Chains A and B, each alone.
Chain A
Amino acid sequence: MHLHKYEKIWLSFGFAALIIFLSVVGVSAFHQGHTPSGGLQKVDPDNLEATPPFDSPGVYEKEDGSYEVIAIAEAFGYTPTEIQVPAGEEVTFKVTSKDVTHSFSIVDTNVNMMVVPGKVNEKTHTFEDPGTYLIVCNEYCGSGHHFMSMEIEVVEQ
């Protein structure tokens, strides 16, 4: 098959760009730990009240000084209804759904998690700046989807 000289140059450039892009993404993901939210833990969506940790949603300080937020999404809101975490500390969000698919997305951060019933989604984030952050549901979940939001308070330590 005949390839024009310029086309060879063009495609080599394309391949090189591809390799560089993918290496950057790969190193960032697996060496520096910047993977998107995820997790392989399962739960029974009909029985969250009796399943730790979702039997008591809330904010917990762990032994190593980091924080854990356990939250449940449900049409059209979140439990707990108030979240307060300190700035500068690692916060791990663990979220699941009681009914349909939602999201738990904190505006102005990279916390943008799909919340799928039966699964627990996890994401760790450190808030650098104190303030009030908006959490929205960005996966269509029904007639009240555009009302589904809450705020998270990040306080100075």
Chain B
Amino acid sequence: MTAVSIPNPERKLALTNLGIAYTAFIIGTLCGLLQVFIRNDALQLPAWLDYYQILTAHGVLLALIFTTFFIFGFFQSGMSKTLGAFGPKVVLWNWIGLIITTIGTVMATVMIVIGEASVLYTFYAPMMANGFFYVGLALFVIGTWVQSFALVGHYRVWRKANKGEKSPLFAFMTVATIILWVIACLGVVATVLFQFIPWAFGWQDSINVGLSRSLFWYFGHPLVYFWLLPAYIAWYVIVPKLIGGKVFSDSLARLAFILFILFSIPVGFHHQLTEPGIASFWKFLQTVLTFMVIVPSLMTAFSLFAVFETRGRELGGKGLFGWFTKLPWKDVRFTSIFVAMLFFIPGGAGGIINASFQMNEVIHNTLWVVGHFHITVGTPVAMTFFGVTFWLVPYLTKRVFTRSLQRLAFLQIITWSIGMLLMSTAQHVLGLFGAPRRTAYTGYQHEDAQSWFEGIISNHVTMAVGGSILFLSATILVFIVIQLTWFAPKAESVNQEIFPIAVSESKETPKILENWKVWIGVAFVLIAIAYTVPIMDMIQHAPPGSKGFQTW
């Protein structure tokens, strides 16, 4: 903790990751803006561009590219901050990984733009995109693995040099997230390498559709925890420091992350509840496992509010809720993340509804689901990342987050919250009526469908207004990022931004929590229980495979 800043190689790495993240962010949000206007019939796209291309780009750029690049930029800075400077090998492999990830990204994006891959980011077979789209996806994942292993390598060097000590909480959580990511990606890598690529290049005539869907969702659910856990790192480790407190309980924080590794993977069937080919028993078993993530979620909620209340009382808050007013609301780095947490309350509750077995039929593939992920990844995760950006970028560029930029940042999070509230509420309500998701526009000639959009909340105008406010907000954010990168005044040593890491007392923390072999072992046992029988069944009792279709 001697030097304020981390060394230059790590700064460059992290800034490159963040730069790509925000480039994807602005293009992705622009796609979102176009979508609400196309659905509104207010906008006609030129002949060479269609709605589903834009929808694919919106999903891929925001859900995969913005999040992943941001996460690695955050991890690289935090690992250097908490474990010390990277060695030359760690730096080199991080760069190699970053370059592979970028090549994969560019390849997949080009295929989307030239109309060869309007398959959406779930790329369900047997819709067949250009083979290079799948190669791009594979490279993207492999690139993230290389960066992941480089960071784990750095962690191992630290553990060797500090035998018997528990690692700093930030590093522990980073490693936990990486373990989750690597195990999760096994599914998507398997289906892309062994099913999609041979099929798309014509080396195999047909594809086992059911198997590809299950392998995708084996990955698809922990993917959302890969977005969420870095946000949780900010909630557990960064936020307490911002308000001047310390981590509520080191051991509980670590335990929560372990539980997320265990219970976010063997649960993919809850995305496939309404489809054939999986026996009800296995769907139900995975539903039960899905619900287990409620435990670490409740632990997290408790810990965070305990920190808030403890700190608020230290600052002189009296009575039942007096502590609440004492929190540093004028600090946008805190307020942004606090609002992000609030959005996660309905977001999490909606998730429980989605996973509730038969209740899933009410909302499956309706606009409700779209509303759901805009108030989970779209706000709690994204807005936490914004909150981190406000100090991480100036920390890395050694510039000042000036008063005027802070005011702009408040405007940004307020507009994002309002836009998201309007748009996602409309989407939730429309979904309950039965309006399907992923449609260019909704012109069904049926009175039910026509009445969907006549509500006060559930109309096209609400969605378009929400979408426009969101894009305005995105523009402000990118303006702030550009300012903080190139134009804000250079920091002196007195006003140099710090990397806020809260104190976490780990003396009492049981050692077993950092015995990764045990937890990876348990994770694989759970995965084997949940998946072996149904996957074997899908392979052994496969129907005749499907040839490829290009239906766009």
Contact = CB atoms under 8 A, between A and B. Distances in A.
B334 to A, nearest CB: 23
Contacts of A39: 276-277
Interface in B269-319: 272-280, 283-284, 287-288, 291-292, 294-295, 298-299, 302, 306
B249 A4 contact: yes
B120 interface: yes
Contacts of B546: 45, 99, 117-118
A151 B364 CA distance: 20
A118 B126 CA distance: 11
Contacts of B50: 143
Given A100-B127, A142-B551, A11 B299 contact: yes
Interface string B347-370: 000001000111111101110000
A134 B434 CA distance: 10
B210 A15 contact: no
B491 to A, nearest CB: 39
B437 interface: yes
B contacts with A: majority SS:
loop
B210 A118 contact: yes
Chain B's interface size range is 35 or more
A86 to B, nearest CB: 20
B544 A118 contact: yes
A114 B449 contact: no
B364 A112 contact: yes
B543 interface: yes
A76 B127 CA distance: 14
A108 B432 CA distance: 9
B164 interface: no
B448 interface: yes
Interface in A104-123: 105, 107-108, 110-114, 116-122
B4 to A, nearest CB: 34
Nearest to B509: A1
A105 B431 CA distance: 12
A135 B266 CA distance: 33
A149 interface: yes
B455 interface: no
Nearest to B55: A140
Interface stretch (B195-203, B439-447, B458-466, B524-532): B439-447
B86 interface: no
Contacts of A40: 276-277, 279, 541
B436 interface: yes
Contacts of A151: 446
A6 B126 CA distance: 52
B275 A114 contact: yes
B84 interface: no
Interface in B503-519: 508-510
Nearest to A15: B295
A55 B275 CA distance: 22
A114 B302 CA distance: 38
A25 B365 contact: no
A107 B302 CA distance: 40
Contacts of A154: none
B434 A36 contact: no
A75 B127 CA distance: 11
A18 interface: yes
B324 interface: no
A117 B544 CA distance: 9
* Among B118, B273, B365, residue most surrounded by chain A Cβ atoms (within 10 Å): B365
B549 interface: yes
B385 interface: no
Interface in A16-31: 17-18, 21-22, 25-26, 28-30
B348 to A, nearest CB: 12
Contacts of B547: 46
A107 B449 contact: yes
A117 B249 contact: no
A10 interface: yes
B357 A136 contact: no
Nearest to B367: A138
A134 B544 contact: no
B209 interface: yes
B276 A105 contact: no
Nearest to B52: A143
A132 interface: yes
Contacts of A76: 551
B373 interface: no
Contacts of A43: 543
B544 A116 contact: no
Contacts of B210: 116, 118-119
Interface string A70-85: 0000011000000000
A30 B279 CA distance: 12
Contacts of B118: 143
Interface string B415-437: 00000000000000000011011
Contact of A38 (B127, B280, B295): B280
B508 A2 contact: yes
B444 A1 contact: no
Nearest to A134: B446
Interface string A60-103: 00000000000000011000000000000000000000011101
14 contacts: A7-B306, A35-B283, A36-B357, A38-B275, A44-B543, A99-B126, A101-B124, A101-B127, A101-B213, A105-B436, A134-B444, A134-B446, A140-B120, A143-B552
Interface of A: 1-4, 6-7, 10-11, 14-15, 17-18, 21-22, 25-26, 28-30, 34-47, 75-76, 99-101, 103, 105, 107-108, 110-114, 116-122, 132-134, 136-147, 149, 151
Nearest 7 A-B pairs (CB), nearest first? A142-B551, A118-B543, A138-B436, A114-B275, A42-B543, A146-B439, A107-B434
